[in-house]
Structure 1
Amino acid sequence: MSPARKRNLVIYIVGGVLMITLPLFAVWMGSIVSGSEGTVISDELQFFRNALLVASAVAAVLLLVLYWHFQQLLSEYLQEKRKVEEKLETYSARLTSYIESPEYVSIFSLDRDMCYTGFNSLHQKEMRLYFHAHAEEGAYIVDLLPQEVRERTVRNFKRALNGEHFSVTSLYNHRYYTQIFNPVYDDHDNVVGLTSNVFDVTDRIQAEQELENYKDQLEELVRQRTAQLEEQSEFFQKIIDNLPNLIFVRDAQSKYVLVNQAMADSFGLKIEEFIGRTIAETHQNAEDAEKFAAEDVEILANNKTVEEESLHKYPDGSEKWLFLSKRRMQIGAEKYLLGVHNDITNLKQTEFKLLEANHELQQTLNRLRATQMRLIESEKMASLGQLTAGLAHEINNPINYVAGNIGPIRRDLGELKEFLISLNNNHHEQSPAVETQNFELLFDELDSLLEGVNEGADRVKTLMNDLNTFSLPEGAKKVYCDVNDSLKSTINLVRHHLKDRIRLELDFGELPDILCNPQQLSQVFLNILNNAIQAITHEGVITVKTKRKDGHVVIELSDTGHGISKEHINKIFDPFFTTKEVGEGTGLGLSISYRIIEEHKGKIEVYSAPGKGARFRIFLPLGSDS
């Protein structure tokens, strides 16, 4: 009940007592007045009595009102009491639930005499299980504990009853338990008892012990690993210190984080004097330092590689050629620049010697090329020598044909001259018809003779052109031409050697122009055709075919001669190899032919067997434009 309601209830009770007392007092006064016989009652007394009676009546009414109001207050009080009791029951149930809900926590409370005032079911169960004791309210807990834990437990209870909050962890029956002690205070802050929570922490303690052991093991492992890393670092440093290469590592700020002994020696510094210093602090040349720092930035940003040679001057005054390779090296999120200098002094010295030797070799090569040109030209001359007799016959025929026609032409021209003179002098005795007929016959004969002269001259011209094409200098440039034209020119040069015993079969396909040296190809064709002619001792056939196939121009020259033996077929392209008698050949024809085809990026193949002739196949690339 609230304080205001308590105050109103007291006022109502006092007022009710007064209202009951006043009527009784009025009645008592009336009895006194009416009991006094013969007594004259004064008007004042009579008025007072009547006033009391009126007051008593009013008091009675008020009393009824107060009684009704008191009944209302009482009803409200009872309702409020029921609500409070319900709340108390709810709070009690919640408290019991709170005490019982942690199934792994033993909870109990004691008064100042260490007697039970409450406990949960787990505490009761554990007291029965571990101490064979029955916990109940009002029981003295010390009597329920084993003798070996009483003294320690009583000491802890007294600490709590003295107002101390604390917890204790102890080992009992191979299990670890933590007990929390809390003093209980009344409204005046006096300790009236204590509460205690006990819970099994064996798993946690064991885990902590294992963690501690693991921590010790981990610390030992860390110490071992640290020692190993230090050993490895020292081992690695010794390895790079024993390398002749100059090795360094710089970070993104161009500061050295690692160098080997060779690198330190090249600057006349100690390794520890390098670490942590920038390029500007280690390099005396400011321009070089600025250049290297800029290269570092670009390498780290774009992951590019820089390689360069330089002549490095050592502190002792010696100089060495170094080849530097710088590249980016990333470890996690950090980027570093790795640089390695290789001593290439011996290589540079060798390079200088090689350059000098190469110069001498180039001069020798030039001399060899000049010699080779002379050999090729001599081979041409040898080939031309073989053609000389036949060419003389080929040239003499048309020249004799021309020379034989010159006399008749002169005679006819003389007759024509006399005829014209006679016409001019008008001394002609013959009839006009006869003179005209003789004139026509004369011109017909002259036309015939001149055609013979022209044919002979053309034959000589063609033969000389072919011979001139073949005999052009070796150094002629490559031009675009038709291979068929070179073949035809070459065949014209050897045709007189065929005579009547060798039949020539030609099958020229349509070919595109290719980039080549016509004179060199003509020499190849001439060498193969000459060999074919010489291989046919009696009658036979030489076949020449050309075609386009698989990006190549293919030239096939075959004969029906005596063929090439197995022991010779692999040597025919060797320089100076020949099966002819001494003085009949140089042995350079097919060797030179093989080189010429190679220079044209082509290839030459030969198929032969004794008694079955030989077939040469030449492949020349068409080129990108064909």
Structure 2
Amino acid sequence: MLQKYQYQYQYQYQYQNILILDGNHKKIIFNLKKNPISNSTLNLSAEALKTKSVTVQDFYVDEFDKKIYLSILVPILKHENSNPIGLAIFTINPEKYVQPSFDEWSVFFKTGEILLFREKDGSIQNVNFLKYDKNKWIDFAFPLTRVELPAVQSILGRTGNLEGTNYRKVPVVAYSKKIENSPWYFMLQVEKKEAYQPLIEERWNLIISATSLIGLFGFGLFLISRRQVILDLKEKAKISSEMKLIKSALHAAANEILILDNTGIVLWANKSFSQNTGYLPIEILGETLDKLVKSGVQGDAFYKKIQDTVQNGEVWKGEVISKRKDESLVPMETMITPVLNEKNRITHFVIVKQDITERKKTEELRENFYAQLEEKVQVRTKELRDSYKNMEEINSYLEGAMLDLKNMQEKIIKSEKLSFLGRLAAGMTHELNTPLGAIVSSNRTLSDILNNKILSCIITITNLSSDDFQVFLSLLKNSQNNPITIELPDREKKLKIQKQLEAAGFSEKRELAELVLGSGVEESDDSWAIFFKNPKSKEILKSISCFRSLRGLSETISFASAKSLTVVNALKNYLVQENPTEKDNITEVNLQKEIDSILTLFQSKIKYGVKITKNYTTSENCLGNSDKLNQVWINLLNNALHAMNYKGTIEIKIEEIDSYIVTSITDSGIGIPLELQSKIFDPFFTTKKNGEGIGIGLDICKGFIEDMDGKIEVHSVPGKTTFSIWLKAASKRERERERERERERINL
């Protein structure tokens, strides 16, 4: 059935392999593909068994076939709080399950590359094949100190639009986004020379031009402020060599640069303005800037806002749609700077303009790129979320399977209980018949005395003289002080009394000696010859014997009743169903009382050929679950009797060792072979014949003891096998509580 489920899983979910390990993750119980297990998987198996939780082994390289896998490790539990009895491992091949979906993704940039990565052990770990290095995948990693990598920037908290260099040290622009509810990041990166280089070049042109203007214009304003603006070309030739240098620098700038008077008349323009707009220099000077380049596209309110800003002495920066001489429209990044004199009045305006047509195209491409990328990220995120949902469904199915296994185990335990009771049924019948027969017999004799003899005794006592009555009372007290035993009469004592009576001349020596022994009176042997000279002596002893018989029969009935009650209570303690809310409770347990009760159940099997030796050196209680411990004692005693073939010696020892109560059960059976001692706690391992056991008893015992924070040990040689159960002493819990209270006092 187990193999059927494994193949069903493998077919339904396309697993690369399915394995099942034992509870110590040392032995392989099932291996679908017969492949060796990776060491990294074995190491993670120990953690999964320890935490008792489903664990995902993220992408790793198998050292045997050098391929990359993803594994899911599921502990197999007998019940909720028990230690795992095994571990199921489901292995996924991402080349078949994950990588094909990456290969289907399209990127419309020639240098574009999609990455799926995460942070692991202080470095970036990639999960898909790289565009420029197909052989690198999981083992391709960079430290988080490489902040120039967009992937590192994402891990450090920056997502969205990013810039940096890729793993080949090539400048790139990228868009990154974290996948919800996962450690993974999704990113698309493109080399700058393809996606962003034109914009970068124009930005540098603007920076160079602005720097030139700022550096040179200060000196130029100093000269211009001392002269009137002259439009005559002849007077311009008279300007100093310094002014010529400034003009040359401004003419060489790639940006359009103009100088206006405070009324908006163009006083000077560099060659870039003339070349870009198509106007000749003579057409520019003396004209208003509005007449030359105002397109009117952006409305009167826009232009009025510009005018109000600069008239207030403030710098205005923004984007203006300018008109060329050929009526074409061009977007221009524009900066207008008012020039103030010493009286804080505006004398001139300096305008710097840059054609941003290519930048606008690049920005439009970038916006389209990011929009498409965002759409693809959402699609792929949904695909990954669906994949995680499938894993959750698998986990839910496995949890249901674990619950079924737990219920099956409980049924097996109950079946073992009933089987054990069936084997003890005949012996229990005999154990109950013996005391019940004693009760019936004693009751019959008691009724005979009460009906036929007690009246005669009362009459005899009432007819005694005062002296004889005192003798009667004295002997009756003597008899009551002597315990009643079930042993045969003391023959030597009887013969001695007969000789004394014969010497005194009594012919009824045997009858009188039996009366003396039956009365239970303890007197010196030579005093009876004197006593029997009293004519009432026989009646007195018969009356005392009658009362002693009543007492003896009462004690017999009490003893037999107690014996029956012991057997019934032992059966009741074994059969009673534990309270589900308390079945795992750890309480104080009196081991001596519990084991003595269990031994009662085995009385019919041990009283003829088995000697039980008890060596209880401590009366300290242990911490445990009484019902589960009864299961342990029954299983160990049953195994011991079977090993001895119900003939030999069983020693039960209870001692305290290092805050533990250690219970050892030793039998004189044939012993356990050394090569089998490591297997006896494995589920379904048994050395018994078919029908005598299914091999889960010791495995269940081991689980019970470990649930109580204890341990079970075995030591066996031919002729002697010892199972030792170590459980915490009840006093240890009190000492731990005292230490906890002491720590709280220290903290306070």
Instruction: Return the TM-score normalized by structure 2.
Output: 0.37
Instruction: Return the TM-score normalized by structure 1.
Output: 0.44
Greater helix fraction, Structure 1 or Structure 2: 1
Greater C-alpha Rg:
1
